[in-house]
Chains A and B, each alone.
Chain A
């Protein structure tokens, strides 16, 4: 191939200026790190909000002078108002779901490692990739402004929760923060949808179009399958939320009645009888719930599937064994993704749907347990009999499995209509989804961080600090979320600013305090993680190109990888992604790029055929 074409194909040469290299970069690796930094910033905000909420729940009425200074409107004299608590609930949920759980696993690690793992020199559309990050960042700034600069309501953000149910979310005078704050909230979600769609488009095209020679679909690491499925879910679900958001915004700003029913009374005023509460007729609030949850359920898989991929990848690497049942894992990922589109109704059992639809949704929901169990079984199968290396990454991956089981099992409880009806909107639900989609996904990302850090920065993270981080976090999250199940069964409702008025919940107060203390501890320990992260970039122990003795393509290039990932020569792939402990091989791992030996010793041993199929 001539040099001329060589240059032409090499779409964007390594930039030299600081701005093109680190700010408006087209390099998927830099964009991935930008996404991770965004998520690290967003998670700090979200965590701080959760601590504030916990403090209000366990020590209601306490005066926190700093709060009064920061939020004079929301916490006058430093005592949190119930509205401010509700806006914290809303912002915590929205920021965590969108800007942490969707951003870090997919935009961050997916962006950085998907092209490298399939042997591509970049994403298919680098400019779109850059745009998707900057659009997402704008979305983040807008969501922050919803609570910090929401105009006349002064420092009370929207109070409708991350689900934003109408009609209250559709009416500006429904409460403090439901005016400008709610407009900004919807706008931010719409912006985020666009950013995610650009990203998903890029992921799918890259994976379909840019796999290197020999990288057949069934030779891809499970991480790539997870990112791909996640991208498909995002591609099909975010447009629905975008459409719903536009409808909601029109209801608020243009006076339409998509979601606002007729004859609505708001603080004693009938719709149409006052100039600031114009006439609305015939809208359907339940319609929003359908549209929202059609997006919302796939969204929880968008959050957790990349964690599943990373966990499979890391378990195999550190158990020094192939992933147990690779094909089953691939099909399970797809099955979870597919079923995820048909179960949204289980979020709405309480809205009064026909018992027949409820039963259908219930059965479909419970059937997700099958592919989930396949995955859990295969993770345990991967660990079984392995020569396990307990690195921090491995600990977090095992922690992921534990949390996924602990959080997922209560999904079987809530998926049944008869059990969901009493448990709906109690702390049982809070505990369930925090464990399974929140903490488990985050554990997947911690595992990914400790695992890929040496590749991204050429240095290890400190293992001693990492293990401390793991154990405190692991015990901490169980201390936070296990008691919440009990509270939920006892009937403690979600989203209440405090429970002092409720006699039947008084005996639970010690548990509430325990949860808060555990939460504060767990959050503080995350500072160790932040410290470890930053310190290790500069002072960590140097890592080689393949410090974990792993097999996939990212370990084939330098740490950190050069601008075009493979220094101009794309690798050729000869084998599957997890060839560990192959009998007869010189090492206990065989890289994907290692060619077939010239049929050395073919036929040695009679039971060779399919000997590795489980």
Chain B
């Protein structure tokens, strides 16, 4: 039986079942080498994995909030027991705090790029303070509602309000832990180039996450109080 491999060219270059085009051995892979042949991945790829990982994680988180949003929309239309909450005023403060914190963290990240470690740490701590302020303000919003006698099970809108703020709060708490880790890492003496690059990668990733949390809160705020 003749095989289907009929070509007579020695050691095919088109790559049977493989590469689309014959290409040189260099520059095909994911790793961009710094011009020298090292047995281990170069610095940039170790740093960029934090950013890639963060984008991937954000996709997952986004999917969960998408699912909850679809539940929110379906549930709001599925029965006539939906009683819209009156927005607790303190949520405006929360929103302001988290918006500002995004700005301060971005500044912190830029300071790190400029190798201004002390300034970086100061902005980082300011961000942590603002983040904590946001969480406290969210808790106060809960207290306001509880004082009005609005609990998780009171009506579907309050259920979703507590659920969405809590889920967002837990994710933000994760961001705070990451910020704390980042500031501890800044304290540690940076011995080599790799550690510096990795720290920058981590800082970029955490900043990305924090901005994501910021936008996510704005979205939830609009969904909860302005969508219907």
Partner-B contacts on A (CB < 8 A): 1, 4-6, 8-10, 120-121, 124-125, 197, 200-202, 204-205, 208-216, 218-219, 235-240, 242-244, 246-247, 250, 254-258, 261-262, 278, 281-284, 287, 290-291, 294, 316, 321-327, 381, 384-386, 568-570, 572-585, 590, 595-597, 600-602, 604-605, 607-614
Contact = CB atoms under 8 A, between A and B. Distances in A.
A583 B9 contact: yes
A284 B65 CA distance: 19
Contacts of A582: 5, 10-12, 16
A590 B18 CA distance: 12
B42 to A, nearest CB: 8
B192 A590 contact: no
A356 to B, nearest CB: 18
Given A5-B194, A197-B60, A216-B23, A381 B18 contact: no
Given A213-B31, A214-B29, A386-B3, A578 B16 contact: yes
Given A218-B18, A235-B60, A284-B78, A209 B52 contact: yes
B4 A240 contact: no
12 contacts: A200-B60, A208-B52, A210-B41, A213-B25, A213-B31, A214-B29, A258-B159, A326-B18, A605-B7, A605-B8, A611-B6, A612-B14
B188 interface: no
Given A282-B79, A590-B11, A573 B46 contact: no
A278 B152 CA distance: 14
A8 B18 contact: no
B11 A236 contact: no
B17 A258 contact: no
B71 interface: yes
Interface of B: 1-20, 22-23, 25-26, 28-31, 33, 36, 38-41, 45-46, 48-49, 52-53, 56-57, 59-61, 63-68, 70-71, 74-75, 78-82, 152-153, 156, 159, 163, 167, 192-195
Contact of A287 (B78, B80, B163, B195): B78
Contacts of B68: 243, 247
A572 B9 contact: no
Contacts of B46: 9
Nearest to B166: A246
A68 B45 CA distance: 59
B28 A5 contact: no
Contacts of A327: 20
A374 to B, nearest CB: 15
Contacts of A322: 5, 16-17
Given A575-B18, A584-B10, A6 B39 contact: yes
A235 B62 CA distance: 10
Contacts of B14: 610, 612-613
Given A209-B52, A257-B156, A281-B81, A291 B67 contact: yes
Nearest to A215: B29
B56 A576 contact: no
A1 B152 contact: no
B40 A9 contact: yes
A611 B3 CA distance: 12
B10 A262 contact: no
Chain B interface SS verdict (over half): loop
Nearest to B52: A205
A246 B16 contact: no
Contact of A604 (B9, B26, B30, B63): B9
Given A209-B52, A215-B29, A294 B67 contact: yes
A583 B14 CA distance: 13
Given A235-B56, A610-B7, A611-B8, 9 more contacts: A5-B40, A214-B25, A216-B23, A239-B67, A255-B153, A283-B78, A291-B71, A604-B9, A609-B9
A254 B161 CA distance: 14
Contacts of B20: 218, 327
Contacts of A214: 25-26, 28-29
Contacts of A262: 79, 81
Contacts of B67: 239-240, 243-244, 291, 294
Contacts of B156: 256-258, 282
A64 B193 CA distance: 68
A145 to B, nearest CB: 25
Nearest to A320: B3
Given A213-B28, A287-B71, A611 B12 contact: yes
B39 A570 contact: yes
B75 A287 contact: yes
A232 to B, nearest CB: 9
Contact of A577 (B2, B18, B33): B18
B19 A324 contact: no
Given A9-B40, A612-B16, A205 B56 contact: yes
Contacts of B70: 290-291
A236 B10 CA distance: 44
A408 to B, nearest CB: 24
Nearest to A594: B11
Contact of A240 (B8, B64, B193): B64
Contacts of B153: 254-257, 278
Given A5-B193, A322-B16, A381-B4, A282 B78 contact: yes
Contact of B8 (A125, A210, A607): A607
Contact of B79 (A244, A281, A321): A281
B40 A125 contact: no
Contacts of A202: 53
B79 A385 contact: no
A583 B152 CA distance: 71
B133 to A, nearest CB: 26
B11 A569 contact: no
A559 B4 CA distance: 32
A282 B167 CA distance: 23
B55 to A, nearest CB: 9
B152 A10 contact: no
B28 A216 contact: yes
B78 A242 contact: no
A610 B19 CA distance: 12
Contacts of B71: 243-244, 247, 258, 287, 291
Nearest to A211: B30
Nearest to A244: B67
Nearest to A124: B49
A318 to B, nearest CB: 14
